Structure 1
Amino acid sequence: MPARRILIAAVIAALSLITACSGGGGAGGTAAPLPSGAELVKKSAEAARAAKSVTFSMETEGTPPVQVKKASGRLTGTGDADGTLQVDVLGTLQEISFVLLGETVHFKGATGGFQKMSRSQLAAIYDPSAILDPDRGVVQLLGTAQNPKTHAAETLDGADVYRVTATLSQQVLATMVPGIAQNVDATLWMDRATARLIKADLPLTGGKVIVGFGDYDVPVKITAPAG
């Protein structure tokens, strides 16, 4: 009798394993094929070209050779932006708040009031307006991506995304993150429904840069600081 019970238990376990592996025998057990990497980067570039606004973030891990260690803010399709930067100045991290309106940048450090610089002066440090510029930013970055390959459909911070790897151009990357001096074998995450770029992981010598995008097309109004 004990041997019979053992045999029955083994049969039940085997049947359970077969059912689990077959996804229950229904249509839901077959994973949908992944879109090609080339198709995804093309769609993502088109989505970036159509974007009217976006929030952005950038942070570093380790010691990659870039001056800006952290950034976050809001950006309109016309290139106006506001946010904060954390910049390495001779080995010391300096926090800078900025408001970019037209050709004028209002900026301030941790103490004191706002001062002014030109857009080109800010661009030498970090140029958020490049992100949605179709001739310099994400559109060009994805349009020139080499060997894109889709690896998985997964979830990232609650969003359904595709994970893609591709080699990105140093020339285009450097317009958005000054200091990058090499092509980058990047990992990209793109929203499954809209194809919009959500995150980019950029490994560099000494560390990495992680870039994030969100709140696409949410209305943004950039105003000059008082005084």
Structure 2
Amino acid sequence: MHTSLPGAPASVRPLRRLTVALGWLLATLMTVAACTSAAPERPAATPALPDGGDLLRTSAQAMAAVKSVGFTIETEGKPPVPVQHAEGSLTKEADAQGTIRMNVFGTLQEMEFVLIGDKVHFKGPTGGYQTMTREQLAALYDPSAILNPDKGVSHLLSTAGTPKTEAEEDVDGIPAYRVAAQLSQPVVAALIPGVDQAVNAKLWVDTATSRLLKASLPLGDGPTAGTVTVLFTDYDKPIKITAPAS
């Protein structure tokens, strides 16, 4: 004997069971969808920064191959170095030209210079060019040391200690890796006369070419504290350096 729901025609009962089943299915799907949409999205993984030691070794090799470069040296504060400002261009052959402002025996002097071979042509704000030897200039400041393979930037990078990549950021619109490193006193002093301490430097290495774009060198302490910043531009740009007219 079949038992039926009272008041429900036999033709309606299968439809009712189907409706109930569909309702349960719809409710289940809605619950799953709600849980899925509520699940937080995982943020994209940040690419790991390159190893600082690898970056500086590669940069040292890239700098050793440079044929010419433009440079600017600026100081902020009162770092204990005679050079206050310098800018110019130089070649792999150690010829250079530019301007320099430095403290000489307590007096701020500014001069233009042209360095060709063993002779330096220089002049102050007034008067004509005079000459001195390369050795005499080197006692004050030798810009040609920048590309010198034995004591220049390439040597500085290859001897840097405890390098650590800190960030990727632009230098004048050029993507670069910022690397913290310790530089020894003799190596820095060969490029910036007057440095008498090891330097905890920040170095910016071009992500595309591995060349050094910028160096920040904090120096001194107390009233004689400051920062020397060196910028490098115009890599391998053709440069013609000629002696000025007498």
TM range (shorter): 0.7 to 0.9
Does 2:107 align with 1:92? yes
| Cα deviations by residue, 1:159-205 (Å, 9 ceiling, x for unpaired) | 10000000011111111111000110000101000111000000000
Instruction: With the length of structure 2 as denominator, give the TM-score of the two structures.
Output: 0.81
Aligned residue in 2 for 1:208: 227
Cα distance in structure 2, aligned partners of 1:52 and 1:129? 12
**Letter of the 1:151 counterpart:** E
Q: Secondary structure at the match of 1:131?
A: helix
Moved over 6 A (4+): none
Amino acid at match of 1:58: I
1:209 Cα offset (Å): 0.7
1:76-155 residue pairs with structure 2 within 5 A? 76-155=91-170
Matches within 5 A, 1:53-92: 53-92=68-107
* Residues 1:187 and 2:202 are matched in the alignment: yes
Q: Are 2:189 and 1:174 equivalent residues in the alignment?
A: yes
In structure 2, give the amino acid aligned to 1:209: V
- In the alignment, residue 63 of structure 1 is paired with which amino acid? K
Distance 2:234 2:150 in 1: 22
Rg comparison, structure with higher value: 2
Whole-Å separation in 2 of the counterparts to 1:150 and 1:135: 25
SS across alignment from 1:39 = helix
Aligned position for 1:224: 243
Structure 1, residues 114-150: CA drift from partner, whole Å, max 9, x if none? 0000001111111111100110101110111000000
Which residue of structure 1 lines up, in the alignment, with residue 62 of structure 2? 47
For 2:161, give the aligned amino acid.
Q
Amino acid at match of 2:83: V
Match of 1:7 in 2: none
Separation in structure 1 between the aligned mates of residue 97 and residue 171 of structure 2, nearest angstrom: 26
- Code of the residue aligned with 1:196 in structure 2: it is R
Letter matched to residue 125 of structure 2:
A
Rounded Cα–Cα distance in structure 2 between residues aligned with 1:170 and 1:220: 31
For 2:227 and 2:243, how far apart are their aligned partners in 1? 33
The TM-score with structure 1 as length reference comes to 0.87
- Give the number of aligned pairs: 206
How far did residue 89 of structure 1 move?
A: 2.4
Amino acid of the residue matched to residue 136 of structure 2? Answer: Q
Letter of the structure 2 residue corresponding to residue 68 of structure 1: V
Amino acid at match of 1:204: L
| Counterpart AA for 1:44 | S
- 2:59–2:157 contact (8 Å) kept in structure 1: yes
Q: What CA RMSD, in Å, does the superposition of the two structures yield over aligned residues?
A: 1.6
- 1:68-102 CA-to-partner distances (Å, cap 9, x unmatched) read 11000000001000000001123332111000000
Distance in 1 (alpha carbons) for counterparts of 2:129 and 2:45:
58
* Unaligned segments of structure 1, at least 5 residues: 1-13, 23-28
Contact 2:76 2:228 in 1 (8 A): yes
